[in-house]
């Protein structure tokens, strides 16, 4: 399947007048090479075989796991950039695309180094060309997403089972991470927000402890063979105040209303408007953060990213997309963060829900 991705990408580069692309971001490298590798480097020419740059003692292991067989080994990181430059010049690539996105690697620094060493090469951004391929999952990717959903559900079950007065957010997250890694997740993500002060992106804190009556929101990204699913549940204890229960029911009613509408042809912005109108009618217009959905795949959050990029809200859903919804929380000061999120595969017959943990109301 990865060979087909490379061929399609080469076709699109030719259409845009791009001679080749230097793939440095980890997720796009994984997409084309079908293997996750730290400090990756991959040149895909518009014509010909791709070339991977791999540390010398890792070459054999890489070739065994990847469809990319043409490899340039390097001894130290100081040899990587000269090797890339040499291949670019030998291949006669005058216009080179780069995936201008931000991930764990120091890509911006790499880009500056590349530009200095190749002053006659025109550098263009091919991120959108890559994401046009990555947004639509093939059968292999869908199968991995389904397994990622099972891993994510296990993590959620472990996290919710650890919620109790006195437990810290970090302890809740630790249970989820342990369960997911036991189930095969290699790079799990967990966010926890406990208590009355809502935090939209809640990295778990060791000093934030759960008190009686606290609402606890847990967001999990679990992976299987590099593909993720995303899930959020909000735990509302039996002793929670009527205000907290009302806020949760508002989120649940919207979730149940909009998720069946995740169908091919539906414009994401139209659903966003419906969410806003519903929450405004329920008195929560000041507490909702726009950006209800995002793609899920080789990253927990990838295109289309309505949470960050407003133009993506005007995209229409298409068959084969894997979408997380509802991503945006209802943040109510004095009550907490309220959110329900699942990962869905967009099919001709409507959304197929991949993550399936029960709602987390005590």
Mean pLDDT of the chain: 93
Sheet holding 293-295, edge to edge: 302-305, 293-295, 322-325, 342-347, 350-353
User: Is the distance from CB of 66 to CB of 36 less than 8 angstroms?
Assistant: no
Residue closest to 134 by CA, chosen among 25, 52, 53, 49: 25
pLDDT value, residue 359? 85
Handedness of CA 261, 318, 29, 308 (dihedral sign): negative
Distance of alpha carbon 23 from alpha carbon 187, whole angstroms: 21
Handedness of CA 221, 223, 228, 231 (dihedral sign): negative
User: Does pLDDT of 362 surpass 60?
Assistant: no
Residues in the chain, how many?
A: 362
Domains of the chain are: 2-134 (3.40.350.10), 139-353 (3.90.230.10)
351 sits in which H/E element:
strand 350-353
CA angle 243, 292, 257 (to 5 degrees): 65
Query: Half-sphere exposure of 142 toward its Cβ, with a 13 Å CA cutoff?
Result: 14
User: Is the distance from CB of 219 to CB of 232 less than 8 angstroms?
Assistant: yes
pLDDT digits (tens, 9 = 90+) for 40-72: 789 999 999 999 999 988 999 999 999 999 999
- Report the 10 Å Cβ neighbour count for 46: 21
Percent of the chain at pLDDT exceeding 90: 80
pLDDT value, residue 80? 83
- Report the 10 Å Cβ neighbour count for 334: 10
Phi, psi of 297 (to 5 degrees): -175, -115
pLDDT digits (tens, 9 = 90+) for 292-307: 999 999 999 999 998 8
Residue whose pair of structure tokens reads 């907490």 in the numeric block: 336
pLDDT digits (tens, 9 = 90+) for 144-155: 999 999 999 999
Predicted confidence band of residue 2 (pLDDT cuts 50, 70, 90): confident
User: Does pLDDT of 361 surpass 70?
Assistant: no
CA distances from 45 to 18, 34, 156 (A): 9, 18, 42
């Amino acid at each position: 399947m990865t060979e087909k991705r490379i061929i399609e990408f080469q076709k699109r580069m030719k259409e845009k007048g791009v001679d080749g692309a230097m793939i440095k971001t980890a997720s796009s490298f994984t997409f084309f090479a079908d293997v996750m590798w730290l400090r990756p480097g991959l040149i895909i020419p518009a014509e010909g075989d791709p070339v991977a740059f791999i540390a010398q003692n890792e070459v054999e292991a890489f070739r065994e796991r990847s469809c990319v067989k043409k490899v340039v080994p390097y001894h130290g990181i100081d040899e990587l950039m000269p090797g890339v430059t040499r291949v670019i010049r030998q291949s006669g690539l005058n216009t080179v695309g780069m995936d201008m996105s931000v991930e764990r690697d120091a890509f911006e620094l790499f880009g500056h180094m590349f530009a200095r060493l190749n002053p006659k090469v025109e550098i263009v951004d091919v991120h959108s060309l890559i994401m046009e391929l990555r947004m639509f999952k093939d059968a292999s990717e869908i199968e991995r997403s389904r397994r990622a959903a099972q891993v994510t559900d296990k993590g959620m079950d472990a996290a919710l089972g650890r919620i109790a007065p006195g437990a810290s957010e970090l302890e809740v997250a630790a249970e989820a991470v342990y369960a997911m890694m036991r189930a095969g997740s290699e790079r799990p993500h967990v966010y926890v927000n406990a208590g009355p002060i809502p935090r939209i992106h809640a990295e778990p804190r060791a000093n934030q402890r759960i008190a009686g009556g606290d609402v606890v929101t847990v967001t999990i990204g679990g992976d299987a063979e590099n593909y993720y699913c995303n899930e959020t549940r909000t735990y509302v204890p039996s002793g929670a105040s009527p205000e907290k229960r009302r806020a949760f029911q508002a989120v649940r009613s919207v979730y149940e209303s909009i998720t069946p509408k995740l169908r091919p042809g539906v414009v994401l912005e139209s659903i966003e408007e419906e969410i806003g109108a519903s929450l405004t009618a329920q008195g929560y217009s000041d507490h909702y953060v726009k950006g209800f959905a995002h793609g899920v795949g080789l990253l927990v959050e990838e295109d289309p990213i309505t949470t960050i990029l407003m133009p993506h809200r005007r995209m229409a859903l298409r068959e084969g997309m894997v979408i997380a919804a509802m991503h945006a929380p209802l943040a109510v000061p004095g009550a907490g963060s309220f959110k329900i999120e699942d990962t869905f595969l967009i099919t001709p017959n409507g959304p197929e829900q991949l993550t399936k943990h029960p709602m987390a109301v005590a």
